Structure 1
């Protein structure tokens, strides 16, 4: 049985990831500041900004485990505006550096980490270069939080250059949702402009967890980043109508059908075998 540490395993996406990994046969350790209410995996309290603690957690803990095969790094201040910009910058960039540096010390060459949809240019006050957006254009950070995610992607690329054995999979997650969040979705229809900040996209936490597991399983080495979203939008209005109303001058690189997402998941489908199976429409 392979053993994986999940940082932020007590968080919204983290809990779904821990559950999915356990259900698929992984031995999971949850590294977080607070335990998960689910209690599905052994928990270790940690400050990820303390390099010594991270090295200790990834190299083995007495009476708990003596090795790890992989790391999923989800822990972070999860969005802009929750703390002062300097605090977001310090916590998030230092935590990610410490995880990757400690993984090298521990001999761990398989790391999946949470990037963000925000690197695509959210909240799109400056429109994206084309639709659907994808991984092919350079990041456009518009907040300190997004700047850190962009710097993380650059940093990880250099770490992979230094260590050709490293496989690092960055997942640009959309807005994470649980089933109980879906009751609010019909209210978005009254003012579509309130949700165009991320092109009306979202990710069901269960499908986000699937993407994490597939990232751990992908073949090859080096850095790869993937947009991870649900296959549909949060709206009942067809996607083509939303584009016509809100982004009439943007290049539409391919037709969009029905309620198809404008955060392209084509690369994730093709490379990872990502197959999202959950929609808010099944619950409202």
Structure 2
């Protein structure tokens, strides 16, 4: 596919760029920062005119796209003032979705967030492992925007039934260099905020490619996490200490992720290959 990748200079985006190209796709990176050169377009996604222009054609770099992967955003709460996070992330996503649909691009995959599950779980989750079945519980402006983006996607595909929009609720993104800090064993409460989850950026790229390949028209959302936790402490021990009253659904295993990837495995064919334990 010829793919427009927003946020191509970010932590996840830079890995996704390399992985999608290695898989044979023609990928044009788009970001507000980055090095000038072939395969990159500098664009302010909060400016709708720039987004339309960038997705339409840029000199001799491309003349349109088969798909859009939208990863650009202020990537977490607390990085910028809440109003800045909202004013950057919400318009950027609307502009990308709206421009893509107007231009006839019917395959969109984008970064939602594990935060819509209720992070940092100061109010315990309804059950463990958490999944996509219970209503969103945003606890920050950043998370609220992610929830609103999903609602936006739901309405857009209702208006345009031929369009596929897939929201990937990525866990805490890690690259191999980050594994020097693992395992997180000292105090289980240090990482209870996302149920001791993470995602290797390379597996994040795999999930994106799977969604590009197989997601049908319409909207769907998927938790995307590694298959294991960030600690050597057994799951039963963690839950007994931190979430003793939360119901457990099924067998958690000793170190299996508590951010359920069952749906992503079943419908996308997602199969995480990377672990800090390697």
Q: Which residue, 239, 243, 249 being the options, matches 1:243? A: 239
Secondary structure of 2:112's counterpart equals: strand
Q: Distance in 2 between matches of 1:60 and 1:231?
A: 39
Q: Say yes or no: does 1:193 pair with 2:192.
A: no
Where does residue 17 of structure 2 map in the other structure?
Answer: 18
Matches within 5 A, 1:129-144: 129-144=126-141
- Runs of 4+ with deviation above 2 angstroms: none
Structure 2: gaps (5+ residues): none
**C-alpha contact 2:166 2:215 (8 A) present in aligned 1:** no
Q: Which residue, 169, 177, 184 being the options, matches 2:181? A: 184
Secondary structure of 1:15's counterpart equals: helix
**C-alpha contact 2:45 2:92 (8 A) present in aligned 1:** yes
Where does residue 173 of structure 1 map in the other structure?
Answer: 170
Where does residue 8 of structure 1 map in the other structure?
Answer: 7
Where does residue 214 of structure 1 map in the other structure?
Answer: 210
Q: Distance in 1 between matches of 2:192 and 2:127?
A: 15
Using structure 2 for the length normalisation, give the TM-score: 0.98
Where does residue 32 of structure 2 map in the other structure?
Answer: 33
**C-alpha contact 1:9 1:36 (8 A) present in aligned 2:** no
Using structure 1 for the length normalisation, give the TM-score: 0.96
What do the CA deviations read for 1:112-134 (whole angstroms, capped 9, x no partner)?
00000000000000001000000
Q: Distance in 2 between matches of 1:32 and 1:219?
A: 25
Secondary structure of 1:164's counterpart equals: coil
- Residue 219 of structure 1, CA deviation: 4.0
Structure 1: gaps (5+ residues): none
**Number of residue pairs the alignment of both structures matches:** 278
- Residue 36 of structure 1, CA deviation: 5.7
**C-alpha contact 1:173 1:228 (8 A) present in aligned 2:** yes
Aligned Cα RMSD in Å? Answer: 1.2
